[in-house]
Each structure stands twice: as C-alpha cells, then as structure tokens.
Amino acid sequence: MAKHATPKLDQLESGPWPSFVSDIKQEAESRAKNPKGLDYQIPVDCPEDLLGVLELSYNDGETHWKHGGIVGVFGYGGGVIGRYCDQPEKFPGVAHFHTVRLNQPSGKYYTSEYLRALCDIWDLRGSGLTNMHGSTGDIVLLGTTTPQLEEIFWEVTHNLNTDLGGSGSNLRTPADCLGETRCEYACYDTSALAFEMTNEYQDELHRPAFPYKFKFKFDGCPNGCVAAIARSDFSVIGTWKDSIKIDQAAVKAYVAGEFKPNAGAHSGRDWGKFDLVKEVVELCPSEAITWDGAKLTIDRKECVRCMHCINTMPRALRIGDERGASILCGAKAPILDGAQMSSLVVPFVEAQSPFDEIKEVVENIWDWWMEEGKNRERLGETMKRLSLQKLLEVTGQPADPRHVMEPRHNPYIFFKEEEVPGGWDRDITEYRKRHLR
C-alpha cells in the first residue's frame, strides 16, 4: 500500500514510453521489501515521499522545493546541489533531497560491474533515484541527506576511483560526443580530449574561481552530437583541411540503389529513388559539387564542410586526412542578455594529444575573462560587452574574414591610437591657426 495517494501521477503509468512513475514506485517497493537487508542511511520511504510531494505539485501547479541550498564536501566548492522540501512535516523522507553530481566517463561507456558498484553505494546512502545523465553530462544521484555527503564522497573516491562533477561559478563537467569510439566522421579523438581537459583542470572544476560558470564540450565533427556550439562556452568542433575522399565506385552504388542514402535514415517513408543531383548536388550550400553522370567531383576550395554529402553517402565520401578542429566561444542560454551560440575564434587548430594548442587558447581566455568578466557574466556576454576584437587579441588570433558572418554596417569604428598618424594628443591652438573661430 503506497504511503500517499497519487491519482494524478498514476495516470502517467499508462502509455508506451517508459514511465518514471512506475520506476519510482518499483524502487519504493524494493526499498520497502529490502531484499538485501540493508540498513538504509536515509529514510526508506524517500521515493514514496518524492511521489507524494510531486503529486502535491501536480495539484498546486507550483514547486515545493525551498529556494537554493548550500551543502558540499570539504576541499571542494561545488559538486552537490542542496535541496530542501517546503513541506518537511508532510514529506519527511525528502526534507533533505540533495543531488550529487558524479563525473561521467568520456562517451558515457560503462561496464555493468562499475554501475552495480555505484548502485550499491547509492542504494545504501541515497534515495535509489538518479538521472542518467544531467544535461551537462554528469551522473546525477538524486536525493540524499547532508550527513551522507562525505560518506558518499569517501566511497566514490576510495572504492570507485570516481570524482564529483562541477557546479557553481567554475569549470563544469566537460562532455564529448562518442567520437572515434564508434563514428567514422570523427576528426579527432573527442574522448581523449575530454578526459585530458577534465584532468588538467581539476582545480578549476572543483573550486569556483571564475566570474560565472564555464563549460567545455567536444564535438568530433560539425554534426554536433553533443551540441557544443549551443551548450558550451568553449566549443571544440572537429574538421579537416584537405579534400573529401571520394570512392567513385561507391557513388555509383548509391546511384544504382545498392546503398541506401543517409545510411537508411529515411526508410520509414517512400521518398522515391535516390536522386544524387536533387539530394546532394543541389543541396550543397556552397554549390561545390558536380556530377557528370559518371564521376562526382568536389571543389575543395569552395566546400564549407557542412557534412551533408558525407552524411548522405557515408560509404562513398569520407572526411579528409588533414584533421583538426575549430574553436568557437560564448554559447549560453538567454539569461541575462539573450541566448548565444558560440562564435568562431580559431578556424583550425591541431587536436592531437596532449592538446597543448587547445589548452593555450583556454588559458589565454581564462586569464582575460577571470580579470575582466563581471560578477555572473558568461564569456559570451563579456565578448559582447568588450568586443570580439578583444577576445581575438588575448588569444593571439589575427582578425580574419572567417571571424564574421558579414562585416559591420555601422561606421562606429574604434582605431588604436598607434594606427593613426600623429596620435590623439592634439593642440587646439595649432588647429586655430588654420581655422579661425
């Protein structure tokens, strides 16, 4: 018998999509039965009280979590999101309901052995509920009490060799697409870069020293499977400099209908026979492709590497061999002065372990933003306030047409004093000798 009646939430148990309500209920039941005979370190009925408070929110249309919450572990300034229920007497099981962020492995590959060991810790010391995963990438352990935080931290560091993720005004947990592990489009080893950068900047991740949060994301190619361009202040996106490799026999196999376009991604509908001209040549954004009926050619100099032709004919077209990445900066959500995607800063950078060229760009940006950024100002907003020119200057990038979608159309142009003959220090009496008042 459930502790609270949840008539509204019960309606979310039907339908085909996996029901979080059914899952929370199964966890509540499992804890009530306690087949392993655990001495649960937080209330056994924590998941039931979560359903209870959620049902109350479904009745009120309002959240029942108190504002904020500042908890953590010694040595770190972040990693745990404190949370307290605003009806602790009705729902004592979630009076404390803190979230622990754990740093996930690159590409989110796991073994069952590792996940089971994690579940064993969380079963005993937490609610038994998780998010797999948080939007930034962390393993999210959802709901525990303050006295358990150090115990959990001790267990994950000593027994799982795993650290907390980031929260607060610091480097947040980096994330990557699966990259070379299982994709033929990957232009660099995103997993290695994510792992390397996370380890290199552990101090910046665990102890907030920034004006505001800062995120890294690493995409292997411009398809953006981890959405670096939209969801990270520092977005590294793989690309290549030389020609797309063309297998003409495989192109013919696509034209003949032997290979399915886009690897079969549209097979749920009859789109007719594959039409190379209509589906590839005419959709190329820079009109860089020609097909003479026997041979496909790509004008390398006009190609903007959008991935469309490669995505459409993965067995015939391959990324080039001269590989690296572009660095774009400044993506953020709307608060405060509007959403931003990242803007191109370094068109091409080497992306080989130990990734020193990329680290140099990061550290130059941090040196500048940590000094100049205002309280709670994301890098993208600092760029808007102090200009892209300033960011290029601190990163040692010469201005390049690739840095803009279009040149400015207002004439409010700043010059550096040294660019102007004679400088800015002028004498009005000299001027008056030529121009009477």
Residues 166-195 within binding reach of another protein (CB under 8 A): 175, 177-178, 180-184, 186, 189, 191, 195
263 near another protein, rule: CB under 8 A: yes
- Cβ closest to another protein, residue 177 vs residue 361: 177
The region of 260-268, 294-302, 389-397, 429-437 touching another protein under the rule CB under 8 A is: 260-268
C-beta closer to another protein: residue 18 or 398? 18
In sequence order, what are the residues at sequence separation of 6 or more whose Cβ sits closer than 8 angstroms to the Cβ of residue 125? 41, 42, 144, 148, 151, 152, 155
Could you tell me the smallest distance in angstroms from the CB atom of residue 318 to another protein?
A: 8
- The three-point CA angle 338-339-345 to 5° equals 115
By the rule CB under 8 A, 291 interacts with another protein: no
Q: Does 355 help bind another protein (rule: CB under 8 A)?
A: no
Q: Is residue 380 part of the contact set for another protein (CB under 8 A)? A: no
CB of 155 to another protein, least distance (A): 5
Please tell me the count of residues contacting another protein according to CB under 8 A. Answer: 149
- With respect to another protein, which residue has the nearer C-beta, 29 or 360? 29
Which position among 46, 76, 101, 391 is part of the footprint of another protein (CB under 8 A)? 76
Left if phi > 0, otherwise alpha if psi is -120 to 50, otherwise beta: which for 67? beta
Give the residue with the Cβ less far from another protein, 104 or 382. Answer: 104
Please report the DSSP string for 297-336 in residue order.
Answer: EE-TTT----SHHHHH-TTTEE--SSEEEEEEE--B-STT
Report the distance separating Cα 129 and Cα 141, nearest Å.
7
The amino acid that residue 164 corresponds to is L
307-326: contacts with another protein (CB under 8 A): 307-308, 311-312, 314-315
| Binding of residue 387 to another protein (CB under 8 A) | no
CA 427, CA 437: separation in Å to the nearest integer? 14
Scanning residues 401 to 430, which ones bind another protein (CB under 8 A)?
none
Q: Is 13 in the site for another protein (CB under 8 A)?
A: yes
DSSP state of 179: G
> Distance (Å, rounded) from C-alpha 123 to C-alpha 140?
14
Residue 230 tokens read as 């939209």
Tell me whether residue 30 or residue 431 sits nearer to another protein (CB atom): 30
Two structure tokens written together for 383: 């760029």
Using CB under 8 A, pick the residue from 1, 16, 294, 419 that binds another protein: 16
Q: How far apart are CA 257 and CA 240, in angstroms?
A: 29
